Structure 1
């Protein structure tokens, strides 16, 4: 009995230590980024860095506004394109599709979710970019190379589709069968049951899934870098090029030692991305509490 109690306590201690280590890892990452960002914050105010649009490290100008705008545009386009498609596909696969179709759908979604981001980037460069350049831009009476916000949003939207579909399907499958039967017994159609029972019961989990997908899009690097154009401008339309924060870090990290304050500026960019993701997760927790109440 004593040995069993010892093993139980030891297992609890190990799990508590691992949990604490995971929490400390996030704190250490935040502290390290904050320390590395301190030099540039001592020379420039945060407001100036966030609102200026000039990025000329050789002249000591570090304006992050174009990169923040590029990140925002790509993220919004991706979620706007992916959310309705993933939601409808998840509803169909969960509520309408035959079991045989679901059997094949799950492995395919896992394959799509596991593909390296560079494959999505190559696909976007070969198909999406020429399509925008030769079809979408002329239709809008514009000239464009195709390396645009729209290309980045489409590629990111396709990347997060498997993630959102899998999460939504899991949420819908966990809705109590008794609720389905009660809704049907009251005369509701299948779509009415989905709309008023399944979606309402899954709303908190759906919000968490959307935030997880947003975090994925904000941090994506290679695929965005390959299709967005990487021009330091503030995009005014979907057919303008952009330069998201992850692409900035990936493109310039090797050059940071040759220019004063460059390293600190890039670390600040990473810190801003970290803060954005943390704020989104905190916001999702607040929304979840309101839903549950």
Structure 2
């Protein structure tokens, strides 16, 4: 009887193992299928124009058959990088305060607020940016640096994106900091370290690989954000020379023009190529970040 039960358990384990392996393979297959599909739909424009010209040209005039994506790529990178630069310090310090210094009552108030902010649709952030941030940039911030700005700018889009990813960053950082054993903090305090020194030299150092992984997740989310950025960035083709210039990120290009793709030759293929560029950029960033994360983990293990 026991032998029969053991055989059943082994059989169940094998079946479940193969099911999980199949599901994992399906996830990887979905990634490859997505990339292959975008490449296939982009093949027309890749055959008609040299890849280097498509990626480095700034001329965008579909009516004249000119498809240059360099300004869109730069706009996407600038908006995302500036948003992350603004969001990460705020989220990091907020998470440190909540885990290391705040009263439990404060946590009960802040955590639900973060959940609400994370659940707000992006169109609401876009409207908020249009009604409040755009006029503030145009009337208050802009005149300090330039003669004129409409307010629909790289800076505005980055502010909106940073506000959108802060709840995600804070929640993940809090989870990371909560995993630090109390013994490490007590040992640091017993050696005479202040609370800030303990946070900086013990807590942050211990979870630094997790911090990198969290930032990667936030960058991926911000890079592909469409509606909020579309509403506040100005959507003007050109390379931005300052944070107060209008920009045209790749997601906004796709969302703005996809309905018109059948009216012009190569338009559908061009927009699919824009999506392929976005896909490849996010993939490359994740691969590079994984390499950095591996090196950081290896260093701290030593």
TM-score range, shorter chain: over 0.9
Q: In structure 1, which of residues 55, 63, 70 is the aligned counterpart of residue 68 of structure 2?
A: 63
Q: In structure 2, which of residues 98, 108, 116 is the aligned counterpart of residue 111 of structure 1?
A: 116
Alignment partners' CA distance in 2, 1:142 and 1:18? 57
Q: CA deviation at 1:142?
A: 2.2
Q: How many residues align?
A: 293
Superposition TM-score, scaled by structure 2 size: 0.95
Q: CA deviation at 1:6?
A: 2.9
Does residue 36 in structure 1 map to residue 35 in structure 2?
Answer: no
Alignment of 1:234-253 (within 5 A): 234-253=239-258
Post-superposition, which runs of at least 4 consecutive aligned residues in structure 1 deviate over 4 A?
none
Provide the residue aligned with 1:98 in structure 2.
Answer: 103
Q: In structure 2, which of residues 87, 91, 94 is the aligned counterpart of residue 89 of structure 1?
A: 94
Partner SS state of residue 187, structure 1? coil
Provide the residue aligned with 2:26 in structure 1.
Answer: 21
Alignment partners' CA distance in 1, 2:220 and 2:161? 11
Alignment partners' CA distance in 1, 2:11 and 2:78? 55
Q: CA deviation at 1:115?
A: 1.0
Q: In structure 1, which of residues 164, 183, 187 is the aligned counterpart of residue 169 of structure 2?
A: 164
Alignment partners' CA distance in 2, 1:9 and 1:40? 47
Alignment partners' CA distance in 2, 1:102 and 1:61? 54
Alignment partners' CA distance in 2, 1:63 and 1:253? 17
Alignment partners' CA distance in 1, 2:10 and 2:241? 65
Alignment of 1:145-224 (within 5 A): 145-224=150-229
Q: CA deviation at 1:28?
A: 0.3
Q: 1:229 to 1:194 in 2, by over 3 A?
A: same
Alignment partners' CA distance in 2, 1:19 and 1:142? 55
Provide the residue aligned with 2:277 in structure 1.
Answer: 272
Provide the residue aligned with 1:257 in structure 2.
Answer: 262
Provide the residue aligned with 1:11 in structure 2.
Answer: 16
- Structure 2 segments unaligned to the other structure (5+ residues): none
- Structure 1 segments unaligned to the other structure (5+ residues): none
Q: CA deviation at 1:9?
A: 2.4
Instruction: Give the root-mean-square deviation of aligned CA atoms.
Output: 1.1
Q: CA deviation at 1:10?
A: 2.3
Q: CA deviation at 1:183?
A: 0.7
Alignment partners' CA distance in 2, 1:28 and 1:51? 27
Provide the residue aligned with 1:78 in structure 2.
Answer: 83
